[in-house]
Amino acid sequence: MKKTTYEIVKDIPGWLTKHEGEFLEKATKSLKSVRGTIVEIGSFCGKSTIWLAQSGETIYAIDPHEGVVSGGKTNPTHKAFLKNLRLAGVDTCVKPIIQTSKDAARDWNKPLKLLFIDGLHDFEHASEDFSLWSPFIISGGMIAMHDAFCGWEGAHDVAMRHIVYGKEYSEIGVVGSIIFGIKGHSSIRSRIQKIYNQLFIELCSGIYKLRWVPKRIQFILVHRFLKIFLLNRFSSFNGTF
Q: Are 116 and 46 in contact (CB under 8 A)?
A: no
Query: Of 170, 220, 236, 176, which Cα lies nearest the Cα of 197?
Result: 170
Give the integer Cα–Cα distance in Å for 94 and 157: 30
Give, for all 241 residues of the chain, the pLDDT tens digit: 788 999 999 999 998 999 999 999 999 999 999 999 999 999 999 999 999 999 999 999 999 999 888 766 778 999 999 999 999 999 999 999 999 999 999 999 999 999 999 999 999 999 999 999 999 999 999 999 999 997 789 999 999 999 999 999 999 999 999 999 999 988 999 999 999 999 999 988 888 778 787 877 777 777 777 777 787 666 544 443 3
Q: What are phi and psi of 140, to 5 degrees?
A: 95, -10
3-state class of 172 per DSSP? strand
Residue 241: the pLDDT is: 31
Contacts within 8 Å (CB) and 24+ apart, 189-197: 193/231, 193/232, 194/169, 194/170, 196/231, 197/164, 197/172, 197/173, 197/230, 197/231, 197/232
Q: What are phi and psi of 200, to 5 degrees?
A: -70, -40
Q: What is the DSSP-derived secondary structure letter of residue 135?
A: G
Name all domains of the chain by residue range, CATH numbers in brackets. 5-186 (3.40.50.150)
Question: What is the Cα Rg of the chain in Å?
Answer: 17
